[in-house]
Amino acid sequence: MRLTLLQAPYDAGHYARRMGRGPLHLVERGLVQDLEKQGHEVDLVPIRLPKGFVTEAGAAAEVQRRIAREAGRALAAGRFPIVLAGNCSTTLGVMAAHPPTSTGILWLDAHADFNTPETTTSGFFDGTSLAQVTGGAWQALAATVPGFHPVAERNVILVGARDLDPAEEERLSCSHICRIAAADVPDALDAAFDHLGRHVSRLHLHIDLDVLDPTVGRANVFSVPGGLSLVQAEMLIDAAGGRFDIASLTLSAYDPEQDSDDRILRAVGSILTAVLETREL
């Protein structure tokens, strides 16, 4: 398979810091070579911002614009785009490269990322990522990403979210996003996929690695109990690939400093294998 890895090593606008270190670490530890050994043709595309002072939101938007351009090129060339990202906001850039009405999102995350500037108490821009993608936050900024159109809430399935702010929880409960708890995987998938399949035929698979339970490995400082096992994650990916064309993938929020035993590093390999196997069927 022909793969394009878009390496975006930024966390809150900072290069190679905290979760921004993850995309670099994965490549340093042989991800490209491992994929090539499996028979894939891999093109690594570094996403880099100009040096100098940046704001968190401004840096995120520029990363999104660059990802939109490179993901569009990859899709046009018949390649499978994989975003290695520090932050979840990068997925907005990938969605800008897809047809807006036929591509849904399967969003795996310990957090809903559904805050807005009005509800967030931390001010963490990345905590508004899914709100941005679905048109609920930062839309003037999102409009600067060429090709982006908000994804309808009904075309999003959120899996594993369990650490939400009160106002964020309220916003999510009033939305049309389908929410599935980790404990309900795989039992709740068929009904959710039946509903989603009435509207879209393609999926972007977004995996914030803290969706995995800490017993699998600690992806970052935000990891909390109650997440997916690796077996559940693989079952979910297999089920999604059996129903939809998984057209692109984001792997985000991996902080190697939290992964002293390399368990998340190994989990990434297993997840990638599961995703690519669905593409080969």
Helix (H) or strand (E) holding 60: helix 56-76
Long-range CB contact pairs, 151-154, < 8 A, 24+ = 151/95, 151/100, 151/103, 151/104, 151/105, 152/176, 152/199, 153/177, 154/178, 154/195, 154/196, 154/199
202 has a pLDDT exceeding 80: yes
Using the structure block, give the residue that is written with the tokens 């017993």.
Answer: 215
Which pLDDT score, from 0 to 100, does residue 137 have?
98
83: domain CATH number? 3.40.800.10
pLDDT at 131: 98
Q: What is the pLDDT of residue 100?
A: 80
pLDDT digits (tens, 9 = 90+) for 220-253: 999 999 999 999 999 999 999 999 999 999 999 9
Give the domain range for residue 112: 2-280
User: Which H or E run includes 166?
Assistant: helix 166-173
* Region 132-161 average pLDDT: 98
Q: 281 pLDDT band (50/70/90 cuts)?
A: low
Q: How sure is the predictor about 280, in pLDDT bands with cuts at 50, 70 and 90?
A: confident
Say what the pLDDT of residue 46 is: 98
Closest CA to 112 of 36, 68, 175: 175
**Does residue 3 surpass a pLDDT of 70?**
yes
Q: What is the pLDDT of residue 154?
A: 98
153-168 pLDDT tens trace: 999 999 999 999 999 9
Q: How many domains does the chain have?
A: 1
pLDDT one-digit tens code per residue, 67-107: 999 999 999 999 999 999 999 999 999 999 998 899 999 99
Q: Which pLDDT value is given to residue 194? A: 98
What does the pLDDT read at residue 135? 98
Q: What is the mean pLDDT of residues 133-162?
A: 98
The kind and range of the H/E element at 272 are: helix 263-280
20-76 pLDDT, tens per residue? 999 999 999 999 999 999 999 999 999 999 988 889 999 999 999 999 999 999 999
